[in-house]
Each structure stands twice: as structure tokens, then as C-alpha cells.
A and B are shown apart, each in its own frame.
Chain A
């Protein structure tokens, strides 16, 4: 009965996300979104994706630390929920439009439990499963796809991570003026 379990877990995730968005205390909402992330890693385990479960748990811990850093900074600067009618109306209209598009999209989706690679005999996933061990020597096919068959994706991913970190470093840097005022600063390093 994995489907029932997954459905219950996803409902819990939706409740956690609603709590995280609706509560007015930032600390509470950070903790709620942490609960959503950990539930997601349990769902990944039920979907037989252990790689994703491990990565999601590790990433979630770092995410919580970074978000706490942003939330504690504000000293409980809780922004009041001023709701203008027109804003809520626009939001509801957007969400209804998205829901309509989604209903149209799900008509073309495969049934749950029948992956797309079963429909087409020449789907790339079949090749990966068939030849993965012989061609790459990696028993973990996800790693084989990540670092051999689709290594260009990983190269792009590494580039994005590199750029994001450089961006964060340069955004948070102190102004350069301070360093010019203190020429004796470098000798301690």
C-alpha cells in the first residue's frame, strides 16, 4: 500500500506548507517548512529513490540553518498581513488559471505506477538500465546517469552552484572602503 502512505504524507506536507505560509511568526514558519522537507525525504524513500532521500535530508539541515539565519536577523519583525481585496483576487485568479492548466496537463500524464519508459521501447532510461553497469562500471545507475551518460548536465549544475556561491559572497561583502582605510590589515594574515 505505498500509494496510500504517499498520499497521507503529501497531505501532511500540504498542511505543513499552509502552516508555514499562514503563521505570523517567522521562527514557526521556518520550522514548519523544515517539517515539509523531512516529509519529502520520507516520500522519496517510499518512491524507492534512496539517493534523493539522503541528499534531501542533508540539504534540508543546511537549508534550515540558512533560513534561521535570515529569520533571526529580523528580530521578529513580523509583517502584518494586510490583505487588499484586489491582491487576493488577483492571487485567486492566478491560482485558478494554474489549476486549469494543470488539469489539462494531467490528462497526458502516465498513470501512477507506470513509468514513461514502459511506453516507448527506445526510451533513454531503458538504455541506461540495460547498459549502465557494463559501460560505466557503476552499480548505482543514478550515479552512472549523473556522471557518465549526462555529465554535461552535471557540469552545468556545478557551474550554477559555483556562480551562486560567488554571487552570495559578493552580495554579502563589506564595502571595500573599510579595507582601504586600514593598510596595516594584511600583515596579520
Chain B
């Protein structure tokens, strides 16, 4: 059930990418897709009643291993979040450049070749 809600978030972002014409709106929809995918990956590693994958002084190693959530999706999503920020910076600078060149944010008016 929770997976379907999360997939719904991805579909909302997909709808935004397909329907909206404003470049900032398209960037925002891509962000929503990214959030949905991150959430989907982390949800798979969750254990019911799990504890964070951080050893504390004095914990019993064996019981802790039985309780901890999966650290692998968390590590991969951590890199993905920062990559997402770099890609967002690239997209925002592209959108600012397009606005300077065409004077509009509507991608359907940017079709003509110029310059």
C-alpha cells in the first residue's frame, strides 16, 4: 500500500513533466520524481521497528544486526541526493540562459532556431 502511494508521487511528477510548459515547472516536476524514487529505494530497506545503522558504544553486536535497517539503499540514496543538487544547479542555469535568450519560459515558444 505504501509502495503504491510512493509510486503515485512519481506519477504526479511524470504528469507535470508531460503536461506543463514552463521550464521552472518542468524542473519542479523532475524534483518530485527524484523525491519519489529516493523514497521508494529507502522504503525497501526498512525493517519493522528498525534502528539506524549506527553502532553505539556498549551495544550487543548480534542483537543490533538483527534490528538494524538495510544500510545499502541509504548509502546509495545519499549520493543520489547530492547528485540531484548538482543536476538541479545545471538545470536552473540552463533555464536562466534560455530566458535571457528567448525572453519567455514557455518551451513551446522556444522551438524556433535562433542565433
Which A residues form the contact surface with B (CB < 8 A)? 3, 6-7, 10-11, 13-14, 17-18, 20-21, 26, 29-30, 33, 36-37, 40, 43-44, 47-52, 55-56, 59, 62-63, 66-67, 69-71, 73-74, 77-79, 81-83, 87-88, 90-91, 94-95, 98-99, 102, 106, 109-110, 112-118, 124-126, 128-130, 132-133, 139-142, 144-146, 150, 153-154, 157, 160-161, 164-165, 167-168, 171-172
Residues of B within 8 A of A140 (CB): 53-55
Residues of A within 8 A of B16 (CB): 17, 20-21
Whose C-beta in chain A lies nearest to the C-beta of B108?
A82
Given that A36-B32, A79-B105, A91-B18 are known contacts, is A161 also in contact with B86, CB under 8 Å in the complex? yes
Of A11, A51, A130, A132, chain B has the most CB atoms within 10 Å of the CB of A51
Of B25, B90, B104, chain A has the most CB atoms within 10 Å of the CB of B25
Cβ–Cβ contact A117 & B83, under 8 A = no
Complex Cα–Cα for A118 and B32 (A): 30
Cβ–Cβ contact A115 & B15, under 8 A = no
Cβ–Cβ contact A49 & B74, under 8 A = yes
Which B residues form the contact surface with A (CB < 8 A)? 1-16, 18-25, 27-29, 31-32, 35, 38-39, 42-48, 50-56, 61, 65, 68-72, 74-79, 81-90, 92-97, 99, 104-106
Of A70, A90, A164, chain B has the most CB atoms within 10 Å of the CB of A70
Cβ–Cβ contact A125 & B70, under 8 A = yes
Whose C-beta in chain A lies nearest to the C-beta of B83?
A160
Complex Cα–Cα for A126 and B65 (A): 8
Cβ–Cβ contact A20 & B28, under 8 A = yes
Residues of B within 8 A of A47 (CB): 42-43, 46, 69
